Structure 1
């Protein structure tokens, strides 16, 4: 990822085809470093049993991966695009409910690189609510490649109702049905897409089912 001119001499940001693989390596390094610091005591016990079964008993098990929803209350994931979020969701094994803040940031503000995590933070404070003692996990990736994460613990209940970036929501929580595309099932729901399809002429019931599936 770098800044350079193209074949016509126009300057722009170049993204190599290996950017996804490199970003994955960075995120893996970040998660390896932070995971032992946020796991619960119960998860330490599970990890110990897992290591015993895998390395001592020789059972063919994959590396231990904790359930992050047991040690983190809110997730702010780099919203670099729909595919990026889906990939990170799968890699971290997170439920759709944990991804709403990031998808909300993507819907309202688009791909603003790692700063999407701060928009997601604002949404979480303004619409989800952060209670005293809860943990908020923030994961971002940038050029280099570089990756980083913050784990915040709330020292008090947070009232983010006046957050300027989300004032237009008036504290309303988004659901998956409010998103242009589904999280669990990639169904396009954007009103503009529906409008374009309406002007495209009549379509059969079979065509409609195909559109919903894709």
Structure 2
């Protein structure tokens, strides 16, 4: 009896399973039939509206192609190098004053003025002057100026090529800037000839654009990199001291003699996707501000002849005021791109309050330390750094790289912001994701900004200009 009962129970179970499977088959078949009917109806509708469908597909395809063709290509900073002159070209204060006295071109008042400027300038005892100015009397000439340009430019480029293993023939874009020395053939042609660059290279030579020309050159290279695919751009920045030394007695024209020194930077940029993995930085923002429409601004840094017919660059007493105005104009554009929403809201709120309720209320100064980890302010002089430190409400450590660069290398014109970045790297302070703000200031008057983001924990490249002295810095600068 027990065996028979178990068999009946098994038969019931199999019967139930068979019914369930049959039901599932019926459901699947019916669903498939309905789906086929829907698909058939959809296909009929598509046939009737084929023109509309094809037009939609073509539009979507065209939009996708247009987006990928026109979107801004990322610009990577693969590496950079700064030239460090040989030690025999150092110009300590005593030697500088002794040579100035022996030349016989300066009266006692001018000598005393230069001594005071040197003492208050923020420069140290190890800045460099070109070989011709170490002679007594100095022997400036076109040949000597070319020699200085070749020395600093080729010296920096040799370091860059060695560090990156870059074949010079792979360079598709070359931009050279030097404000006061513009020979024929140009300095860019000199570079092409030295390294036998290819004949179809896009070569540019920028002159007369002052100490902010480096950012202008980067901007030009960036724009060309948006057009030409898979190529490299090299930007060379320097200033020539040899032919632009002032041998007169006008005080405002003697200041550059005390501040400007030898230097050069070269920067390797790329738009190649593969270079993202070896690059140091990625370019995030570039903002340029030109105040040349204002008469005071355009004359605050001005090349001219004095009453005796001697040529030099005059720095006016309005320089720090013009610097402050140019900076404010620049950060009005840059601020919304980089500041946190909280800072933008506070600025907007105080602006509305000032306009509607209290015209005497002071506008809110955004805290740029929340947007940037590092600052590279053009080392144009102690007063310039002080003015920007005050206007941006920066901490002493925020302007350390600028002050130390001024102390060690002097005002190297447009290349100074790269000596400052090299200082930050040498101190091992640049970490992945850090943002650095380079602020370049120059005659015209111009204030230009670049913002870079570190793609890795950046280590200093070989032959960093600070290799021989970074352990001595920062130093205490006397007031």
The two structures share one fold, judged by TM-score above 0.5: yes
Unaligned runs of 5+ in 2: 1-300
TM-score under structure 1 length normalisation: 0.75
What is the alpha-carbon distance in structure 1 between the residues aligned to residue 303 and residue 345 of structure 2?
Answer: 47
Partner of 1:133: 433
Flag the structure with more relative contact order, 1 or 2, with Cα contacts below 8 A and sequence separation at least 6.
Answer: 2
1:84 aligns with 2:381: no
Partner of 1:143: 443
Of residues 147, 152, 174, the one that matches 2:473 is 174
What is the alpha-carbon distance in structure 1 between the residues aligned to residue 472 and residue 459 of structure 2?
Answer: 14
Q: May I ask how many residue pairs the two structures share in their alignment?
A: 179
Does the CA contact (< 8 Å) of 2:326 and 2:445 recur in 1?
Answer: yes
Partner of 1:31: 331
Question: 1:2 and 1:58, CA in 2 relative to 1: closer, same or farther beyond 3 A?
Answer: closer
What is the alpha-carbon distance in structure 1 between the residues aligned to residue 321 and residue 428 of structure 2?
Answer: 32
What is the alpha-carbon distance in structure 1 between the residues aligned to residue 302 and residue 390 of structure 2?
Answer: 28
Partner of 2:340: 40
Deviations 1:174-206 (A, max 9, x none): 34xx1332xxxx3xxxxxxxxxxxxxxxxxxxx
Deviations 1:27-75 (A, max 9, x none): 2211211111110122233334434544455485311211111111000
TM-score under structure 2 length normalisation: 0.35
Of residues 431, 450, 454, the one that matches 1:154 is 454
Q: What's the RMSD between the two structures over aligned residues?
A: 2.1
Question: 1:53 and 1:173, CA in 2 relative to 1: closer, same or farther beyond 3 A?
Answer: farther
Does the CA contact (< 8 Å) of 1:100 and 1:174 recur in 2?
Answer: no
Unaligned runs of 5+ in 1: 187-214
Which aligned pairs between 1:1-214 and structure 2 lie closer than 5 A? 1-58=301-358, 60-160=360-460, 162-170=462-470, 172=471, 174-175=473-474, 178-181=475-478, 186=479
How far the C-alpha of 1:173 sits from its partner, in A, is 7.5
Does the CA contact (< 8 Å) of 2:324 and 2:387 recur in 1?
Answer: no
How far the C-alpha of 1:76 sits from its partner, in A, is 0.4
Partner of 1:195: none
